[in-house]
Amino acid sequence: MGFADQRFNVNLSILFTELPLLERPAAAAAAGFTAVELWWPWIDTPTPEQSELDALKKAIEDAGVRLTGLNFYAGKLPGPDRGALSIPGEESERFRANIDVAVDFADSLGCKALNALYGNRVEGVDPAEQDALALENLLLAARAAHRIGAIVLIEALNKPESPLCPLVSAPAAVGVVDKVNEATGLGNAKFLMDLYHLSMNGEDLPAVIERYTAKTGHVQIADNPGRGAPGTGSLPLEDLLDQLRKAGYDGWVGLEYKPGDQPSAESFAWLPREARAAR
């Protein structure tokens, strides 16, 4: 087993960012990949013009790649203000306005996984109030995703880079997954296991894999330190992905790393070209 046995997709919101958005799907295809994922591309609006949605859809289709993951609106990513669904007021309203837009766009491309990022803690607001709002919005998202046969992903970030985010451990994120599934009865909330974020939190990654693989709907990777490509840090990513497969995970592994000073296309030297196309 090893990297060649995984199903990788490329996150076009962190890789190929040296190119305009509409050129990135073709660039991923030229690099040998057949699947991509995206953070919500329109950071300033949860409801872009239909022409913008259509243009991105066409770019993905023309490139011949699959969209396998999409974030709901989450504010300005990357950045310290990531997340929206648990922030009272305008951000929460933006998240709600985005739900059907994101779900319909995902459905138009056959995408069956949508990531819903929790929001930061807000000074002067009771954390319990934020958590209640988050659950309310996640239930709306889960029900909307269910109508297209999709899952909603809930991710743990890391405390050093997101100190105000309350979901900075695998147990915290999985706890929210369980609450959503218990409330809806749909079972379509899943854990997004980002090995970089979990390693930044100092978690025991083999133990996390053993305990939570069954509740995991998507995996993302980057090396640590540095959030670079596999091999640029010290994480045993090949071994960890092997453990995930042995534990029963056969889903997508998102490449969500920074390419560094080189062009994104040159950051894939660690992965043989024949292993980039999903089988």
The three-class DSSP label of residue 8 is strand
Exposure string over 221-260, b if 16+ CB within 10 A, otherwise e: bbbbeebbbbebbebebbebbbbbeeeebebbbbbbbbbe
Q: Are strands 35-38 and 252-255 parallel, antiparallel or unpaired?
A: unpaired
Q: Where are the alpha helices (DSSP H) in the chain?
A: 24-30, 50-63, 90-108, 127-146, 170-184, 195-200, 205-212, 237-246
The Cβ of residue 266 has, within 10 Å, a number of other Cβ atoms equal to 12
Token pair of 25 as six digits: 């799907």
Q: Which helix (H) or strand (E) holds 193?
A: strand 189-194
Q: How far apart are CA 95 and CA 267, in angstroms?
A: 33
Please identify every residue annotated as catalytic: 155, 256
DSSP, res 118: P
Closest listed residue to residue 99, CA positions, set 113, 119, 109, 114? 114
- Beta-bridge mates of residue 221: 255
Closest by CA position to 69, among listed 10, 4, 144? 10
Tell me the sheet residues that pair with 11: 37
Q: Distance between alpha carbon 161 and the CA centroid of its chain, in Å?
A: 16
